[in-house]
A = this chain, B = another copy of it.
């Protein structure tokens, strides 16, 4: 920890609740994206927790996931105490997830600082991430308010949200700290180019830091309904036991993202300006950009390719043998094979819906 936050215990909160279908057929209900081996053979989740380890001890690393995959997550993270893996009975978006952890920490470690990271990002340079999170934690401690990691754009990306920042108000470690002026939804191409040229915009990374007190206060102010729900949940947990209280009250918590429900309304919000290679691997197509690959594209598992170009070839079972394919995604598992052109990967969701409608639950 940096000197400015001495005495305030630092907790890492890893949000691992996603159940996305965009990586079907490799991703399943029982193995969502964050458990897929996209980080050089390790799961995204294991890589994420591994990156945090030099900064935050296992006892202070909390993973929030879904009840459906809790045991798979435990197997993936044997170094964490079992009680640090928190299972939501159902996903209620990020504000509820973060609020739940904050309310719990408010009882056991009220002076804590939380850094919050998604489980499914690819960040090759763990050291750069830790430096950034450390600076964000120091800023949260020193300045109060809420802190977001703002990535300097390197291209006119239309797939991310942005934050507009003011002049730097100071530094934390090697990083500049800015006040956030506004949050901006995913822009069109021209706007993204303007943002890149202006120099005063950052990619909204979805990684945050704040004191438990600050996030609790912000939720009480901006999401009073969620705050009431969390109060009820915690009070009931004292009498019914936590599992029963969760089952009864968690599914009723207000469903909203922390960005929309809290960050866009709160003040002050600080952006710590950071630069490192980062991708959120949103789809099979995104994987091709996120992973190192040759002109042939990306191969994972047992793949034999002849003259493949710019393709994503993934095997989790049968040999994938491809000849002369271009800009194609092929993903083969023991029971299902997906074939889709790279520019149509978003349609995998349609396909999954089709299978659900056809009662092919065993494949989902």
Which residues does A use to contact B, with CB under 8 Å?
25, 304, 306, 315, 318-325, 328, 330, 332-341, 344, 347-348, 350-351, 354-355, 358, 360, 363
Contacts and interface: CB of A to CB of B under 8 A. Distances in A.
Given A304-B354, A306-B351, A324-B347, 8 more contacts: A318-B332, A318-B336, A321-B336, A321-B337, A321-B355, A322-B339, A323-B340, A323-B348
A304 B358 contact: yes
Contacts of A336: 318-319, 321
Contacts of A338: 321-323
A204 to B, nearest CB: 30
A205 B100 CA distance: 76
Contact of A350 (B306, B335, B341, B351): B306
Contacts of A323: 338-341, 344, 347-348, 350-351
A330 B338 CA distance: 10
A355 B304 contact: yes
A322 B25 CA distance: 12
Contacts of A325: 339-341
A272 to B, nearest CB: 40
Nearest to A345: B323
A319 B335 contact: yes
Nearest to A337: B332
Contacts of A348: 323
A349 B241 CA distance: 64
